Amino acid sequence: MARSPRLDAPLGRGTTRTKPTSRDRFGRFTEWVARAMGTPAFLLLLSLFCILWIGWNTLMPDHLRFDDAALGFTALTLMLSLQASYAAPLILLAQNRQDDRDRVQIEQDRQRAERNLADTEYLAREIVALRMALEERNSHTVTRDVLRQELKALLAELGDADTPAADAEAPSAPAAPRTGPIATRAPRPRP
């Protein structure tokens, strides 16, 4: 079966898994060193190393000592200076990588905040439009108060129709329909 040509690789070369660049590998190493040097365990181990070094070179016989206390532990001083001279740039490199990541994160946060603001403004406009539509619709519909007033008026008319004086004065023709938000029928005459 023939393989289809891939567009992301030159002709004649298969795709291989990309390995992280040496710069990225070194950056991860610097971060590991910075993280390791900033722990209490590192300080404890370094202190223990110095105590053992000084103890060995002061308490052991002269032929077993490798760093002279009379000269101020020159080898220990050189080792600690070498460690510090490499540790400082490694820590600075790790901080630079962290600063780059922070810059990217801040930019992403800013873009997310702008999108949230735009979404919030859009939703606020939509809510205002819905409120205006509801107010316009409610101006054409019957509210509870209008309905109560109409019902009270109907009850009052029915109450007036039940009295004998109202029957004598009532015309024989049906009453005209009411006008207003609720059109009602005229009350039926009683038999």
Q: Give per-residue pLDDT as tens, 110-153.
A: 999 999 999 999 999 999 999 888 887 777 666 788 788 888 99
Q: Would you call 12 helix, strand, or coil by DSSP?
A: coil
157-176 per-position pLDDT tens digit? 888 877 665 455 555 555 55
Mean pLDDT throughout 22-38?
Answer: 86
Q: What does the pLDDT read at residue 49?
A: 94
Lowest mean pLDDT among 20-24, 59-63, 72-76, 150-154: 20-24
Q: What percent of the chain has pLDDT over 90?
A: 34
For position 123, what pLDDT does the model report?
93
List, as one string, the DSSP characters of 40-99.
HHHHHHHHHHHHHHHHHHHHS-GGG-SS-GGGT-HHHHHHHHHHHHHHHHHHHHHHHHHH
Rounded to whole angstroms, how far apart are CA atoms 166 and 187? Answer: 13
Which residue's structure tokens are 């809510």? 127
Residues 6+ apart with CB under 8 A from 142: 181, 182
pTM for the full predicted model: 0.46
């070179």: which residue's tokens? 57
Higher-scoring residue by pLDDT: 180, 112: 112
Runs of H (alpha helix) within 72-188: 74-139, 144-162, 164-169
The CB-side HSE value for 88 (13 A sphere, CA atoms) comes to: 5
Mention every residue, 6+ apart, whose C-beta is less than 8 A from residue 108.
Answer: none
- Is residue 9 packed enough to be buried (19+ CB in 10 Å), middle (13-18) or exposed (0-12)? exposed
Q: What angle do CA 145, 146, 148 make, to 5 degrees?
A: 65
